[in-house]
Structure 1
Amino acid sequence: METTDNPTYEKIKTKLSKYTKWKKGVEAPDGNTHLKETLDFIDPATGRKAYYSDDICGLLKLLRNTRQHSARAKEDVFVLIVAQNFPRLMGDFQKVMFKQGYTLNESVDSSKNQTFACQFTKSHTDSGIQKVDHEDSRHLQVTLKELN
């Protein structure tokens, strides 16, 4: 979306600006250890830390990397990490995406992984009837394991 629909991308960043300065809470002495580990992780291949901007984009990148690395085997714990550290993040994010014309399409994969996938797709309206353009490249795909 950053390159395909930059004006909308910038609006979303602005509307979620309350998540700016998130690093202060993560780096605090009582901050979550999984988030700290990911923030401080030094890539052995490059010898450098990943850069996380102190805005919503950096926060989402940190959460993605935490889930993929530090909290990888702890799916149930990861949900608690997000809920305890950023309790309104998921609702705020979904609301802003919806207001910008993106709809949430959810599906559950019945395989043994029980994957829950959600995709935000740009929707278009003509005379009050909503149509979802699945060919539109402006979408975000998030995949999380469903909790039991």
Structure 2
Amino acid sequence: MFGNGLIKGLRITLKRFYGPNLTEYYPEVKPNLPPRTRSSMALEPEKCISCGLCVNICPNQVINLTSEKDGNNKRVLKTYHMNIGRCLLCGLCTQSCPTGALRLSQEFENAVYHREELLWDMIARSKRSNKPSGEEG
């Protein structure tokens, strides 16, 4: 009665012990994520036409943008802020973007210590991510 469970448990343990290693060495070796991973947001400000569709469709009111008109009476993006702490990563904003300026990215290291760090200035983030790797700032 009790021996069957013990033998079954030992069999599973030995199978895992001598089987392939499943450990990932995360900080040193970055994992290969599937292409459809949703873990962060990315903005290309030069593509944004400040239409406001992403702001209106967001169910949690995560996005806040401001724009102004230039000399050609065309809207130009001034600020683009996201409260990532409230974001569901549902992708509705990226689907509604007519120019593809907003997209889901695979950047997954988003852990922060303070709640204020979840308020992202997407224009500043895009400039940081576009810098060459040798540049500091």
Structure with the bigger RCO (C-alpha within 8 Å, sep 6+) is 2
Higher Cα Rg: structure 1 or 2? 2
TM-score bucket of the superposed structures, by smaller chain:
under 0.3
Taking structure 2 as the reference length, what is the TM-score of the superposition? 0.27
Taking structure 1 as the reference length, what is the TM-score of the superposition? 0.25
Report which of the two has the higher share of helix: 1
